[in-house]
Structure 1
């Protein structure tokens, strides 16, 4: 299991009662960023579309920082190759004729599974699935904690 960010531990009331990391780095969220140029150079149109859709949502919630861009690149490229594998499987079927003339498992099924795994792990880092989204703390969604005892 990945370590929880300090802010999340604090919001949960620090159930482990361990000392919180006061030196944890805080990165500035970015407002928007264009897709990497190499997406177009390498003919990755779906990766470009997913980049645009995903950055719009993540930036809108204050969840995307410069340090997250490499993870987002991996996610977008995995999506592109996953879609290509699905398309090839739909065209060729689950089995193909092997080198010896017999039927063998379509290698695109393995490629599809690998891309699903990559999308799952990188997507969780970015909060792109419902369960990991609940665990993320967006700067845009933070509520100010007030102490009622300060006004007494």
Structure 2
């Protein structure tokens, strides 16, 4: 299967470093011009995260209308993670069930699931360094000019 194909619009944005022929008929949703409002159903912490991330995603041209659901799921997972962490902080890692047996706090499972969702949907949005580099291009310094290019009949840049 390999790595998922990079959208043509993203290759154009990055300058097509591989110099491969680009598909002209590929899907290319337009970036949003304005930051969308958070969905009404999101909780307080989720809206806080939306307001922190959505403007950056819009300004960088990453966010399209088709990405808003990814951001909503990411923010909802963030809220679940925060609520579960608060639960563990107040009741501990273990709890006593109805039969009096000491068991792992179910909030620990919620934390693990929410963190997996944060990683997955965050990567889709470019919210970790590796996926951000993939989405935005390397952003590193350009290669220095090869001084021997003139010997091969090329032209040195000024």
1:36 aligned to which of 35, 39, 58: 39
Computing the radius of gyration from Cα coordinates, the structure with the larger value is 2
In the alignment, structure 2 segments of 5+ residues that lack a partner are 140-154
Alignment partners' CA distance in 2, 1:58 and 1:97: 43
Hey, what does 1:93 align to over in structure 2? 92
1:21-47: per-residue Cα shift (whole Å, max 9, x none)? 3321111111211111222xxxx1011
Q: Is the 8 A contact 1:8 1:137 kept in 2?
A: no
Give the number of equivalent residue pairs: 134
Hey, what does 1:3 align to over in structure 2? 4
Pairing of 1:98-109 with structure 2 (within 5 A)? 98-109=97-108
1:117-143: per-residue Cα shift (whole Å, max 9, x none)? 1111000000011111000038xx8xx
Alignment partners' CA distance in 2, 1:84 and 1:48: 14
Hey, what does 1:80 align to over in structure 2? 79
TM-score of the two chains, using structure 2 as the length reference: 0.76
Hey, what does 2:25 align to over in structure 1? 23
Residues 1:52 and 2:51 aligned together: yes
Aligned to 1:96, the other structure's residue is in SS state strand
Aligned to 1:84, the other structure's residue is in SS state helix
In the alignment, structure 1 segments of 5+ residues that lack a partner are 142-148
Instruction: Compute the RMSD of aligned alpha carbons.
Output: 2.4
